[in-house]
Amino acid sequence: MKSRNWVRLFLSTLLVGGITSGIIGFILRWGEYKELFIHFDVIEILSILTWLFGVGLIFSVISQMGFFAYLTIHRFGLGIFRSYWGLVQVILIIFVLFDLVYFRYQFFAEAEEAVTSYLLVAGYVFIFALIVAMVKRRDTNKEAFIPAVFFMIVVTTIEWFPALRVNEESWLFFMLIPIQICNAYQLLMLPRFLQNKKS
């Protein structure tokens, strides 16, 4: 792929991350920000939106670093494990999903807190990954399904780790959702940019 198309993918992913973070940030903290909209405080709204957009750009860069790292790891995995690479990815997916529930519950659960909320978060990550992987398989081929699930679960979780360590609910989803959308965008749009490599 020509450098021009890499730049287009990079810049468009930046825009996706910034816009998504702006929207998600306002939704997650609507209780704090709704007064600004009621009183139509344009300057304050724009300053918050600028901050959210800037944070989204950072999330987008993290997502893109993870994506290009995964492309490299995937090639190494195919070379080392060959036909077993799919199985290795499935094992890692199960391990990461288990960790998302078990270790988070062990470290952050309060006394007698149910494990339900931790299961729901892991379930959401899993379902989102399945949906993206099904679209990826439809757009390319059935062999793309497991790598897509692996990327959307394992790599996303690694990128999400700073918020997982803090474990503050609004930050968990404020970081997770833009990263998921950026990852899905890159995964689904890369073939389209490759098809335009002669442009």
pLDDT for 179 equals 97
CA angle in degrees (0–180, nearest 5) for 98-104-110: 135
Enclosing domain of residue 14: 3-195
pLDDT for 196 equals 65
Of 49, 57, 51, 46, give the one whose Cα is nearest residue 16.
57
Query: Is residue 198 scored above 60 in pLDDT?
Result: no
pLDDT for 199 equals 47
Percent share of the chain, pLDDT over 70: 97
- Which pLDDT tens digit goes with each residue over 25-80? 999 988 888 888 777 888 988 999 999 999 999 999 999 999 999 999 999 999 99
Name the pTM for this structure: 0.91
DSSP code of 1? -
Query: Is residue 87 scored above 60 in pLDDT?
Result: yes
Please state, in angstroms and rounded to a whole number, the distance separating the CA atoms of residues 145 and 136.
7
- Number of domains the chain contains: 1
